[in-house]
Structure 1
Amino acid sequence: MSTQGNSNFLQGIPSPKDAFIIIVKTEWNSDIVDELERGCLNILHQAGATYEIITVPGAVEIPFTIAAYKRSGRPKADAFITLGAVIQGGTPHFDYVCKFVTEGVLQLNLTLTEPVVLGVLTLNNRVQAEERTGGIHGHKGEEAAITALKMIEVSRSL
């Protein structure tokens, strides 16, 4: 989902009619996640999409929450966006968390009828977070929202 090497990505942000998106965000590294959310919501507002935000403790809990939402009978979402930031520490915990969340999102994308956008940053340090929340690598929160809007259009066309 990187804009580097894809100059057309930010062109023509779609506005699918009556789009409803569930955003699942983490509490961990809230300063980074809040900035991802800000960028995401900016794009969703521009597109006229409606949304609901669900906050979970950490990234591992994201796939469960999306699956539970889907089973809950609550209003049908057109897409799900995941927002989080996992920063490398001194133990293998980072590797496990990153693997669990990415494999969980993959499994959801293969089993749900709605797209699930991976907006969880996996970072070596906080500098990389700054570079990906409005810095030299774009704004990954904005990109997650654009991807969700584009995938809603793709999903509706199939």
Structure 2
Amino acid sequence: MAGHGAPTLEPTPAGEVRVAVIAASWHQQVMTGLLDGAVRGCQSFGVEPVVVRVPGSFELPVAAARLARSGGFDALVALGVVIRGGTPHFDYVCQAATEGLTRVSVDHAVPVGFGVLTCDTEQQALDRAGLPDSTEDKGYEAATAAIATAVELARALVRD
């Protein structure tokens, strides 16, 4: 099972943490589940996120970079889905999104919750989308991971 060994994060009030959720638009049913889960994850910490929609997963890094550079957010959540097809397009988009979002996080010192599903089939994506019949909720997980990291970093910086 893919979720085996995942940490249990206990949402606590996150105070003034500002979060943006950046969501791709491809695969509407999957994206609806991911976005709902991410918003629910934010709300579990008492945070109302700003939601930004982009066309696809390839556009997630540039949107994340612009939001991170603005200084207006303590955490970002990137949501998308790429389903393998018969061409190398899958590999290029997955690599670009992963490397781009990692670069944004490190270059701007802003936690980025990685909620980009990279699946072989649409069913695998549906199983992870946080829908009523899904076995996992990757949107919720990405949001809570990003916020928990932002909260812990803020605590660590106060101690210094």
Q: TM-score, normalised by structure 2?
A: 0.87
Partner SS state of residue 44, structure 2: helix
Shift of 1:90: 0.9
State the partner residue of 1:122. Answer: 118
Partner SS state of residue 19, structure 2: strand
State the partner residue of 2:45. Answer: 47
Paired positions, count: 152
In the alignment, is the contact (CA less than 8 A) between 2:68 and 2:104 conserved in 1? no
Q: How does 1:40-119 map to 2 (within 5 A)?
A: 40-71=38-69, 73=70, 76-119=72-115
Q: Which amino acid letter does the alignment assign opposite residue 66 of structure 2?
A: A
In the alignment, is the contact (CA less than 8 A) between 1:14 and 1:149 conserved in 2? no
Aligned partner of 1:139 among 137, 143, 159 = 137
Gaps (5+ residues) in structure 2?
A: none
State the partner residue of 1:9. Answer: 8
Q: TM-score, normalised by structure 1?
A: 0.88
Instruction: Indicate the structure with greater strand content.
Output: 1
**RMSD, matched Cα:** 1.6
State the alpha-carbon separation in 2 of the partners of residues 31 and 38 from structure 1.
11
Percent identity of the aligned residues? 32
Q: Which amino acid letter does the alignment assign opposite residue 115 of structure 1?
A: P
State the alpha-carbon separation in 1 of the partners of residues 56 and 107 from structure 2.
22
In the alignment, is the contact (CA less than 8 A) between 2:81 and 2:118 conserved in 1? yes
Q: How does 1:8-47 map to 2 (within 5 A)?
A: 8-10=7-9, 12-47=10-45
State the alpha-carbon separation in 2 of the partners of residues 48 and 119 from structure 1.
20
Shift of 1:92: 0.3
Flag the structure with more relative contact order, 1 or 2, with Cα contacts below 8 A and sequence separation at least 6. 1
Shift of 1:30: 1.8
State the alpha-carbon separation in 2 of the partners of residues 149 and 80 from structure 1.
8
Q: Which amino acid letter does the alignment assign opposite residue 51 of structure 2?
A: I
Gaps (5+ residues) in structure 1?
A: none
After superposing on structure 2, the runs of 4+ consecutive aligned residues of structure 1 that deviate more than 4 Å are none
Shift of 1:108: 1.1
Partner SS state of residue 94, structure 2: helix
